Amino acid sequence: MIIQIYAFTRIEQAQEAAALGVNHIGFIAGDYGLVFAELSYAQARLMAASLPDQSHSVALTMSTQVDEILRMAEEVNPNIIHISTDPLDVGLRETEQLRLRLPKNIKLLKAIPVVDESSIDLAIEFAPLCDFLLLDSKVRGMPGVGATGRTHDWTISNRIVQVVPIPVILAGGLTAENAAQAIQAVHPAGVDSNTSTNIPGDPVEKDMVRIRSFVKAVHSMEASTEIPE
């Protein structure tokens, strides 16, 4: 199962997390002053290049411009680009352009806010253009999708998993305490954590103890249940 954790700012912590079994190492690529834990492209490139072969670098972008996202891809060279803006800010046409213009070795992950039944249609529309979908929570007034620390309706997420042909990563308020329940309810290909693996009350600093607990909870669930790869 994919274990994806955001948003690393320290290379040594990212490397330690990879050694623990975090196979998608996430970081914010682009210093736009929009969200916490942003890295410059130069910092993000160092982060991506420092990771071991068994892990994947996941560069989250808050840019809405195709050319800027392509510039980030060239300068950072991540394994995966995570489009985390509101879905229509980088819509179907722009996502198709990215798919056509990105190097073949860079995969696309699109964040889908799970709000209501319309989220299912949205996921179906974007799935053919992406390699992964990330199902996350959306709070009005916050930029983009995710980093809310809140769960959403897992029944909708499960329905998305059933109807799209690509791997789905579940996010939104996941912790070591509820990860097993979330996996049982949704059957995703992976799970994602951001705020719950930070030092409590800190919007940036990662907590290696909490990361270790999250990974252990997911691995324990895998050991006791047949989980989709």
Query: pLDDT tens, 99-123?
Result: 999 999 999 999 999 999 999 999 9
What pLDDT score was predicted for residue 221? Answer: 85
229: in domain: no
pLDDT at 229 over 50: no
pLDDT at 59 over 60: yes
Q: What CATH number is given to the structural domain containing 178?
A: 3.20.20.70
60: in domain: yes
24: in domain: yes
Domain encompassing residue 79: 2-224
Please spell the DSSP secondary structure of the chain, one letter per residue.
-EEEE-----HHHHHHHHHHT--EEEEEE---SSSTTEE-HHHHHHHHHHS-TTSEEEEEE----HHHHHHHHHHH--SEEEE-S-GGGG-HHHHHHHHHHS-TTSEEEEEEE--STHHHHHHHHHGGG-SEEEEE---TTSSSS--S-----HHHHHHHHHH-SS-EEE-SS--TTTHHHHHHHH--SEEEESGGGBPTT-SS-B-HHHHHHHHHHHHHHHHHS----
62: in domain: yes
197: in domain: yes
SS3 sequence of 120-184: HHHHHHHHHHCCEEEEECCCCCCCCCCCCCCCCCHHHHHHHHHHCCCCEEECCCCCCCCHHHHHH
32: in domain: yes
Bridge partners of residue 60, in order along the sequence = 28, 82
Question: Which residues, including other chains, have CB under 8 Å from residue 201's CB and lie 6 or more apart?
Answer: none
pLDDT band at 227 (very low <50, low <70, confident <90, very high): very low
Tell me the percentage of the chain whose pLDDT exceeds 70: 93
What pLDDT score was predicted for residue 152? Answer: 86
pLDDT band at 138 (very low <50, low <70, confident <90, very high): low
* Structural domain count of the chain: 1
pLDDT at 94 over 80: yes
What pLDDT score was predicted for residue 228? Answer: 46
What is the amino acid identity at position 130?
A: C
151: in domain: yes
126: in domain: yes
140-149 pLDDT per residue, tens: 656 466 566 6
Q: Determine phi and psi for 168, rounding to 5 degrees.
A: -115, 130
